[in-house]
A and B are shown apart, each in its own frame.
Chain A
Amino acid sequence: MSGKEFYQNRYQQLGYTLQEVKLRQAIRINNTNAKGKKIIERLASLGVHLEKIPFLQSGYWVVDSKVSAGATAEYLLGLYSIQEAAAQIPVSLFSDLKGKKVLDCAAAPGGKTVQLADIMENTGGIVALDVDKRRLAALGNHLERCHVANAVVYLLDARQAPTLGIKFDRVLVDAPCSGNYAADRDWFKNRTQKDIERNAAAQREILTKAVECLSDHGELVYSTCSLEPEEDELNMDWAIKQLNVEIQEIDCYGNSGLTNVFGKQLDSSVARCKRIWPGETQGFFVCKLKRSKTQ
């Protein structure tokens, strides 16, 4: 069970007609570093023209650029990061991050870790985990370039996070996932249902351990860049039944989560999740969880 036609049919059943998508490059201003620096004007003077992304606080599309947006002095000085538009959403869903203890479960290459630090204005502390040593080097470079001062990074599988013995106020599970065709040209060739089921199972394991690390009144944001309901709505339906968590209302770009997946009726609160079909952005799924009040 794989191939473009198979997934095209699947998506059709979920209400989406497959379309070719040309992803637009997006950047996110690192406000802590760029404060008072007229970054938009500086980039314009270099020939990098931006357009505000309406659903993001600090995100801009690169409309036109005479130079590589990833090779300007402003980029190298950490005044902005290159970060796909939908990927900027998960961190923006946390409330009141300043001074908090935050766990970033699968952090490399660090775009969201830097975004967390930026919103936190380098207060509090972030524990960033990743299981891939090579990707940690990229994460370290990203933290140094963006002058992050409040993160500690461990080479650690997120499933081992409870061994740290810390209860976190905010937990980000940007889960390793199957990805989506808009961000990977060969996606249809490379992915099978088996991969998706394996990833979904790993995500449930990560989520279980991440919830263990969450303080009583903490917030957990779960996201994937997968369009497959096994990794998204079905996992969330499982989580609210197995992990004593509730899905919170969120106000962000995207459609309501699916509550009927291939004939299976899910808990109505799964509609509070947001599913982003490829179009303006890549494909994405995001939701926010809190511990259930009735445990």
Chain B
Amino acid sequence: MTPAPVRAPRAPARARLTARLDRALVRGFLRVTGSALGPYQTAVVRIGFAATWLFFLLREFPHRHELYGPDSPWHFTLAERLIDGNDAFTVLMWSGSALWFEFVYAFAALAAFGLLVGWRTRTLSVFFLIGVLSLQNRSVFMGDGGDNVIHLMALYLVLTRCGRVWSLDARRERRERRAGAPGADATGVVLAAATGLALVATAALGLLSPGWTAFFAALWLGHAAWWAVRRFGGASWRTALAALGNLLHNGTLLVIMAEVCLIYATAGWYKVQGSRWQDGTAVYYPLHLDYFTPWPALSELLGGSGVLVMLITYATVITQVAFPFTVFNRRIKNVLLVVMMLEHASIAVVLGLPFFSLAMIAADAVFLPTAFLLWLGARFRRRPRTPAAERPAGSPATTAPGALSGPPAGTDAERPAGTPAGPPAVPGQRPAAEPRPGEPARPAPPGGNSPR
């Protein structure tokens, strides 16, 4: 009743708050240095984008000259003049020879494949970046929104540890671990020597801008330091360097997630302002554009019902506007994620934009629940049955014995059961055709790759 009980709690309350804040800070710091978060999410993003780009390159193989070759309609000299103005990175401008072009195209495809399977992920992610930027920047006007996402993610992936699971790297690491010490790693040394030499040579020849030289050199030195420390350094050095890597990874992962949110946010916010999105007819129009109707009968069918079109139109806007906020609520986020992936799958078919849709699905995948990804991984894994199933390196010894067959192991074991029931992967049959084609809206867009 007296002042005492009132006053007493006050000071401790403040102290407790400070302590709590303090603890939270420390905990946060330890978390972002102590581990590379989201190993499965980054892996699935890596696989998704590498696969999308690889499929694209394979599909366009017959058209590669017309797209990016020296004699493409967007001629070498045209590209040269544009790139002189915007300094975009592309090794294709180093030479106008057809042979060089063929080499770069093959290099890009191989890099995509290497990244897909997670072979020397750190190096291959850089190769992938070089491939993507070289081809896309060579002919920017051939690209659309799908290329735009691939472009950005190629940049981001370089700074993530995206090969820690579901990769050949992870397998190699497990083997090394079983064998004891890390091996001499001749392949790594050769790769490092080759890339280092290539970097020095290109820089000396003046082919790289100072900015790119510094960027590649920093990456190279970082990897070299990591290799050296792993082999010769003490435990503290290893920890410190790994923690640095984790910091970069975690920061970049945050950027990737924010980027996906920005994509949906702006796509949604601009739509809100459009009269057609307001009056509920927007979806009808793309279904009647020659460029977006590979299956006119299907488009006619979808666009035939006013109610359906209005529902899809509104649902699209609501989903896009809402998504960035739902990431703070696991369940709603997962529902919207399924909706968006289904929408993109339908777009792939209805609007004829398979690569754009694949890229968007790959981007969405960064928000997939770990439990679902583990479940997915377990399904893929069931057949091979190698002794050390695809858990992150290191766990095999302690993981539950059931790891190989059943749900993936350990503490996570019970989770997969409750995950989003079906694999919402790619069925395209839902007639939800969200109109988000691979490209900026036509009349207005100064952006969308064009003004590079």
B partners with A: no
What residues make up the interface of B, taking CB atoms closer than 8 Å to A? none
A residues adjacent to B (C-beta < 8 A): none
